[in-house]
Every structure is written in structure tokens, then in C-alpha cells.
Amino acid sequence: EAQVTQNPRYLITVTGKKLTVTCSQNMNHEYMSWYRQDPGLGLRQIYYSMNVEVTDKGDVPEGYKVSRKEKRNFPLILESPSPNQTSLYFCASSLTGVHEQYFGPGTRLTVT
């Protein structure tokens, strides 16, 4: 089944404790992206990747890191999480940058 998977689905952590949210797709898509969703703000792009080893900042990259060492994986790293990073996070992929995106199920992160 073609899909985008994210892990974990739910995470509660404390300020400053490094964490990684994994994202994987099995559709051989070139383009992958991370978003955060906050009430009243819609989805905002954090980082995106056009292909392996190519990443770029979206609208809200501060406090996040990403890497794209393999085509299928695009992990999101929070080196020192803060409470304002409490949010619902979505990973998405598309065949190329010009196609529609397919979204993972979301990761709900709470930073206390």
C-alpha cells in the first residue's frame, strides 16, 4: 500500500530534550516536506526536500533540523524543544515538487 508513515504518532516530552520524528514514504517520491498545524493558522511549511541531499527552509524553520540521506526517509529533528513547538506535525511527499502531496497521519507533540 502506498503510504507516508510517521513515528511516533504521539509524543510528550520536556523542554530541551532532543527528539526525532521519523517520516518514510514507499512511493519513490522525490519531494518531501514537513508542516506544523496550529489552530487558526492552518499548515505552515517547516522544511522541504526536492531530492536526496537537497533540503531548504520553509516558512517556519527556526528550532528544527532535517536531513535527507535516502530518498524514502526525511526525519525531523528538534535539538532543544521548547513549549512553543507543541503542535501537530505532518510529513508529506509528492512525486516531484509540482505534484499533489500525500500526507502522513500526523504526530501530535507536546513539550512541557
Partner 1 sequence: AQKITQTQPGMFVQEKEAVTLDCTYDTSDQSYGLFWYKQPSSGEMIFLIYQGSYDEQNATEGRYSLNFQKARKSANLVISASQLGDSAMYFCAMREVDNFNKFYFGSGTKLNVKP
Residues that bind partner 1 (CB under 8 A): 31, 33, 35, 40-45, 48, 50, 56, 58-59, 88, 90, 92, 97-98, 100-103, 105-106
CB of 63 to partner 1, least distance (A): 19
Can you list the positions of beta strands (E) in the chain? 4-7, 10-13, 19-25, 31-38, 42-51, 54-57, 65-66, 76-78, 87-94, 102-103, 107-111
CB of 47 to partner 1, least distance (A): 11
What cell numbers appear for 74 in the block?
A: 526525511
Residue 19 or 88 having the CB closest to partner 1: 88
Residue 20 or 45 having the CB closest to partner 1: 45
